[in-house]
Amino acid sequence: MSAKDVPRQVDTLRDQIRYHEHRYYVLDDPEIKDAEFDRLMNELKALEAQHPELITPDSPTQRVGGKPREGFVKVRHSTAMLSLDNAYNEEELRDWERRVHELSGESKVDYVCELKLDGMSLALRFDGGKLALGITRGGGAIGEDVTPNVRTVRSVPLTIPAKTLAKAGLPPDFEVRGELLMPLAAFQRMNDEREQQGLPKFANPRNATAGTVRVLEPNVTASRRLDFFSYAIFADGRTIFELHSETLKALQTAGFKVNPNHRLVHSRDEVWGFINEWEAKRDNLPYEIDGIVIKVDRIALQRELGFTGKAPRWAIAYKFAARSGVTQIEDILVQVGRTGKLTPVAALKPVFIGGTTVSRATLHNMDEIDRLGVRIGDWVSVERGGDVIPKVVKALEDKPRGTRRFHMPERCPVCGGHVVRAEGEADHRCINVNCPAKLRESIRHFASRGVMNIEGMGDALVEQLVEAGMVKNVADIYALDQEKLLKLERMGKKSADNILSEIKNSKTLPLERVIYGLGIRMVGERTAQFLAEHFGSMGALMKASEEELQEVNEIGPRVSESIREFFDEPKNVALVERLRQAGLAFKGQKKQRATTLAGKTFVLTGTLERHTRDEAKKLIEDAGGKVSGSVSKKTDYVVAGAEAGSKLDKARELGVVIICEKKMEELVKG
């Protein structure tokens, strides 16, 4: 490309990227693959790197540009950001509607029903079609300038072309208001990471949103994936359109994200219908809502109705019923999960909570029972969160207390196997591999690709085999024959033969796979590899004491205890013996591992030039190091290639050492 073509190419790329960002982040309807999008972005970044004079603040590459800041500047809102009055039941809603009719003198009023998104409200000012300011609500009159953080929210456009503004009927200078929120998936991920890093978790997505938009480091905001839904436009402090429904359309035309779940309705029955519909469907949404907002559609009527002290008379928030209730614990039962985890479950006097009758609530584990101080017979407060499984959140002290304490059983209620709680852990587990509750999961794991690689033995077949009682433990897989398989529904001779040949092939897989396949707790792929290399045979491993086990690379007291427990259970020993008789690999190669990088954890990010990801991983592991998928405080090095993204940001945030590929090779060589 000749130098004079560069500006045009930069413009074209920016337009393409903006178009695809809009398709992806606003419309949730991408046209191209992520890789293709990344290619466009990388091309633009490369051109901008060669021609920094062409970089503009509204370039899609400039979402995360701001430096960490000292604090936030206060900004006065163009018009106060008000809140909403609430209605908690049908009667209060009817009262509000009656007032609307009385005050306006109208007998028929159209309303727009919207979801009440549970985030925080935000004002965005655009000057000349470009995002100039993002301001939090604050006290309503004065908010805080959080512009650099708002720029990282992908559903907020940084610039809107004059043509698009004209089409939407918007002037170049205007203000958009809406709700900033954190989708549930992002919230979950963020709290998981915080837990790993030993940081306190956020109580709910709303708090997480508020915390995220006020961090001083825009990199952090960018990594947390907030979303923004708009619902109002002002120009010169006034609403531009005649109808609220037109405002929503104009916002969409201008490229803003508008929540699709809104409806223009013409009667009170329709309002009530919308409320009931979304109260029932709220758990299917990927973000939290706490009610429905009902707004008078006609803006002239809105003006007429005006405001009370802090809220408009033309809108109301219908708040969904609290999803908690009070009831009594009749008993505490124990459920055994697929991994053998024992979960104490409270059997409750049935109570109606948020639309359903609840008669069971989880108590998670023994630590939680101790923390809550819950006894059988107690009155408790029960909550139903977005995740549907109700939980006991509090024992009520002002009610008569129960007297029976709960104790975890020493034997599994499903199979009678030993129940163990490892030191320092909250969960009790059944350690019998043959426990029916654990059976499905353990067989799935054993047959899966990374373990014994028995192709064709997927979820459906495992289910059938267990159901038919043909497989009661993983050793039974090797007792299957054509006659048995043909008894299964939809099983033809050809499929049966294929599966049998896959089963036969699995016998050639190395010892480490068999060890991994046993499903010993805390023994993953890597630990299984170390065990196989250290002991060289299943027999030696089975005999090893806890002290001997701890001589193995990366194995500490907890893992060694878990391995010892596994082989101390006679049922497990019998199972392993059957696997030996079936002809699985019980001998391996003893191997001395390099220890150059022992105890060091690496994270790879970006495109490496000299090695593929797998090669780099192997290099590090062969030198005794460990490769992890995510950056945390425990990471020693981040190896950054070209176009490294959020992991690099995270490494900077946590002060982890960042190295290039070449440096990694040097470390490997010692």
Nearer to ligand IVH, 306 or 416 (CB): 306
By the rule CB under 6 A, 248 interacts with ligand IVH: no
Q: How far apart are CA 663 and CA 655, in angstroms?
A: 18
By the rule CB under 6 A, 117 interacts with ligand IVH: yes
By the rule CB under 6 A, 226 interacts with ligand IVH: no
Inter-CA distances, 247 with 28, 155, 239, 313, Å? 21, 18, 8, 19
By the rule CB under 6 A, 121 interacts with ligand IVH: yes
Identify the bridge partners of residue 159 per DSSP, sorted by sequence position.
130
Stretch that binds ligand IVH, among 82-90, 241-249, 603-611, 652-660 (CB under 6 A): 82-90
Q: How far apart are CA 451 and CA 435, in angstroms?
A: 20
Contacts 24+ apart (CB under 8 A), 496-504: 498/455, 498/456, 499/454, 499/456, 499/457, 499/461, 502/453, 502/454, 502/455, 502/456, 502/457, 503/454, 503/457, 503/477, 503/478
Question: What is residue 31's DSSP assignment?
Answer: S
By the rule CB under 6 A, 264 interacts with ligand IVH: no
Tell me which of 21, 97, 110, 114 binds ligand IVH, using CB under 6 A: 114
Stretch that binds ligand IVH, among 109-117, 250-258, 556-564, 568-576 (CB under 6 A): 109-117
User: Which of 443, 327, 421 shows the shortest CA–CA distance to 365?
Assistant: 421
Tell me which of 30, 65, 211, 312 binds ligand IVH, using CB under 6 A: 312
* Residue 504 appears among annotated catalytic residues: no
SS3 346: strand
H/E element, 529: helix 525-535
To ligand IVH, the closest distance from the beta carbon of 221 in angstroms equals 19
Stretch that binds ligand IVH, among 112-120, 125-133, 346-354, 436-444 (CB under 6 A): 112-120
Contact 101, 151 (CB under 8 A): no
- List the catalytic residue out of 45, 74, 116, 618: 116
To ligand IVH, the closest distance from the beta carbon of 175 in angstroms equals 13
Tell me which of 21, 97, 175, 179 binds ligand IVH, using CB under 6 A: 179
Nearer to ligand IVH, 138 or 456 (CB): 138
Sign of CA dihedral 620, 622, 625, 631: positive
**Contacts with ligand IVH, 316-355, as mask; x by CB under 6 A:** -x--------------------------------------
The dihedral over CA atoms of 549, 553, 559, 565, expressed in degrees to the nearest 10, equals -20
Phi-psi label, residue 377: left if phi above 0, alpha if psi -120 to 50, beta otherwise: left
Nearer to ligand IVH, 316 or 538 (CB): 316
Contact 479, 448 (CB under 8 A): no
Nearer to ligand IVH, 225 or 313 (CB): 313
SS3 212: helix
Helix orientation angle between 205-213 and 184-196, rounded to the nearest 10 degrees: 70
By the rule CB under 6 A, 84 interacts with ligand IVH: yes
Nearer to ligand IVH, 210 or 366 (CB): 210
User: How many positions of this chain bind ligand IVH (CB under 6 A)?
Assistant: 12
To ligand IVH, the closest distance from the beta carbon of 125 in angstroms equals 17
By the rule CB under 6 A, 116 interacts with ligand IVH: yes
Nearer to ligand IVH, 317 or 374 (CB): 317
SS3 266: coil
Identify the bridge partners of residue 342 per DSSP, sorted by sequence position.
336, 428
**Contacts with ligand IVH, 571-610, as mask; x by CB under 6 A:** ----------------------------------------
Reading the block at residue 270, the tokens are 């329709």
Identify the bridge partners of residue 642 per DSSP, sorted by sequence position.
607
**Contacts with ligand IVH, 13-32, as mask; x by CB under 6 A:** --------------------
By the rule CB under 6 A, 293 interacts with ligand IVH: yes
To ligand IVH, the closest distance from the beta carbon of 24 in angstroms equals 23
Nearer to ligand IVH, 228 or 530 (CB): 228
By the rule CB under 6 A, 231 interacts with ligand IVH: yes
Nearer to ligand IVH, 232 or 654 (CB): 232
By the rule CB under 6 A, 82 interacts with ligand IVH: yes
Q: What are phi and psi of 309, to 5 degrees?
A: -45, -60
Per residue in 613-646, is it b (16+ CB within 10 Å) or e — as a string? eeebbebbbebbbbbeeebbeebbbbbbbeebeb
Query: Nearest-CB residue to ligand IVH?
Result: 121
To ligand IVH, the closest distance from the beta carbon of 114 in angstroms equals 4
Q: How far apart are the first and last CA of the chain?
A: 44
Q: How far apart are CA 414 and CA 387, in angstroms?
A: 26
Nearer to ligand IVH, 307 or 352 (CB): 307
Nearer to ligand IVH, 180 or 585 (CB): 180
Contacts 24+ apart (CB under 8 A), 641-647: 641/604, 641/605, 641/606, 641/607, 641/608, 641/609, 642/606, 642/607, 642/609, 643/38, 643/42, 643/45, 643/606, 643/607, 644/605, 644/606, 645/605, 645/606, 646/222, 646/223, 647/603, 647/605
**Restricting to residues 522-551, which ones interact with ligand IVH according to CB under 6 A?**
none
To ligand IVH, the closest distance from the beta carbon of 28 in angstroms equals 18
To ligand IVH, the closest distance from the beta carbon of 317 in angstroms equals 5
Stretch that binds ligand IVH, among 115-123, 193-201, 203-211, 239-247 (CB under 6 A): 115-123
Catalytic sites, residue numbers: 116
Provide the binding-site residues for ligand IVH, judged by CB under 6 A. 82-84, 114, 116-117, 121, 179, 231, 293, 312, 317
